[in-house]
Chains A and B, each alone.
Chain A
Amino acid sequence: EAQVTQNPRYLITVTGKKLTVTCSQNMNHEYMSWYRQDPGLGLRQIYYSMNVEVTDKGDVPEGYKVSRKEKRNFPLILESPSPNQTSLYFCASSLWGTGANVLTFGAGSRLTVL
């Protein structure tokens, strides 16, 4: 089944404790992206990647890091989480190029930072 898999789905952590949210897709998509969803704000892009070793900032990159060492994986790293990073996080992927390529989303990761 074609899908984007995120882990963990739920996580409660404390301020300053480094964590990684993994994301993997099995569709051979070039483009991958992370979004965060907050009440009343919709979804906002954190980082994106157009292919292996090519990443760039989205609209709200502060406090996050990413890497793209393999085409299928795009982990989101919070080096020193803070309470304002409490949010619902989505990883998404799509083909890269012209056309209305549809973003396929993972199931979401609910993160709480105390």
Chain B
Amino acid sequence: AQTVTQSQPEMSVQEAETVTLSCTYDTSESDYYLFWYKQPPSRQMILVIRQEAYKQQNATENRFSVNFQKAAKSFSLKISDSQLGDAAMYFCAYRSAISGGSNYKLTFGKGTLLTVNP
């Protein structure tokens, strides 16, 4: 079974600075998808960014980018120019690319709580 590990339970950053959240995963599969979700105090789960494992290019969405290291099974999230609205719990998640109902689920890490200081 796949596992996702977020080794930083909490992180803090100053407004306008850059922060990197870590995520590692364990899998024997060669094709899969990785996601970062944001959960603000409203509790809504919001997709931040996604990465297909077969793509070598790192995904980018505005101020959010990832560093995907497939051999190291690492998928870190970089937030540039941090804003107060970025304060949230961030979850890293894995999904297999193998067809089949049980493979379609997201496996989540335990989350990293990001605080943004003004």
Candidates A41, A88, A100; contact of B52 at CB < 8 Å: A100
* Range, interface on chain B: 20 to 34
Task: Decide: A33 and B110 in contact? CB cutoff 8 A.
Answer: no
Q: A43-88: which residues lie under 8 A (CB-CB) from chain B?
A: 43-45, 48, 50, 54, 56, 58-59, 88
Q: Which residues of A contact B84 (CB under 8 A)?
A: none
Task: Decide: A31 and B104 in contact? CB cutoff 8 A.
Answer: yes
Task: Decide: B43 and A50 in contact? CB cutoff 8 A.
Answer: no
Q: Is B91 an interface residue (CB 8 A)?
A: yes
Task: Decide: A43 and B106 in contact? CB cutoff 8 A.
Answer: yes
Q: Which residues of B contact A100 (CB under 8 A)?
A: 33, 35, 50, 52, 95
Task: Decide: A108 and B111 in contact? CB cutoff 8 A.
Answer: no
Q: Which residues of A contact B52 (CB under 8 A)?
A: 100
Tell me how many residue pairs across A and B have CB atoms closer than 8 Å: 53
Q: Which residues of A contact B105 (CB under 8 A)?
A: 33, 45, 48, 58-59
Please, which residue of chain A has its CB at the minimum distance from the CB of B45?
A: A105
Q: Is A113 an interface residue (CB 8 A)?
A: no
Task: Decide: B97 and A96 in contact? CB cutoff 8 A.
Answer: no
Q: Is B62 an interface residue (CB 8 A)?
A: no
Please, which residue of chain A has its CB at the minimum distance from the CB of B51?
A: A100
